Amino acid sequence: MNGLVGQFDLAWALAELHLSALTDDDVLWEPAELVWTVRPDASGVWRPDWSEEDLDPIPVPTIGWLTWHVTWWWSVTLAHLDAEPVPDRTEVTWPGGAAVVANIRELARRWRATLAALTEADLAGACAFPWGGDSGRTVADTVLWLHVELTKNVAEIGQLRMLRAASR
């Protein structure tokens, strides 16, 4: 179990490095003409760009979109593991730059507590998320997926942050 907490702590250190340096201007910076970002709807609620179809070319996500994405899949993962109602993608909105960082930090706190509470039997238990259906995957598989997904998303956030800084 300590290995999973240690793995998360390593991924989270990278997350904090980039999240702590974000500015409001960073999160909505569009690095290309074709982007996925977050936009306010008619009522002022920030919602992510989304398509159910496979797009070609794939839009470049903004940091705002990536932080929404982290919030979405992490909230869904915790709901699955805690046997709570799972929020629909459309229910997870983007609260803004500083607020989304605070939300992600709260998700990290909850995740660390969840990891610390998992037993070997819990880890061996079945978990359909994010695999879908009767995949034969375990809670341990989901934990490892989350750490990789977090690391990937944070690396993308960091790359965009550095590109923006270098382009000024």
Please name each of the domains of the chain with its CATH number: 2-27+58-167 (1.20.120.450)
pLDDT tens profile 116-141? 999 999 999 999 888 887 888 999 99
pLDDT given for residue 164 in this prediction: 95
Interacting residues of 10 by C-beta distance below 8 A, sequence separation 6+: none
pLDDT tens profile 11-30? 999 999 999 999 989 999 99
CA atoms of 70 and 63, how far apart (whole Å): 10
DSSP string, 87-132: PPGGG--B--HHHHHHHHHHHHHHHHHHHHH--HHHHHSB--TTT-
pLDDT tens profile 78-103? 999 999 999 999 999 999 989 999 99
CA atoms of 104 and 110, how far apart (whole Å): 10
Instruction: Give the HSE-up count for residue 56: Cα atoms under 13 Å, Cβ half-sphere.
Output: 1
Q: Which contacts (CB < 8 Å, 24+ apart) does range 160-165 have?
A: 160/26, 160/29, 160/31, 160/62, 160/63, 160/66, 161/18, 161/21, 161/22, 161/26, 161/63, 163/31, 164/25, 164/26, 164/29, 164/31
pLDDT given for residue 134 in this prediction: 82
Residue 2 reports pLDDT greater than 80: no
pLDDT tens profile 139-157? 999 999 999 999 999 999 9
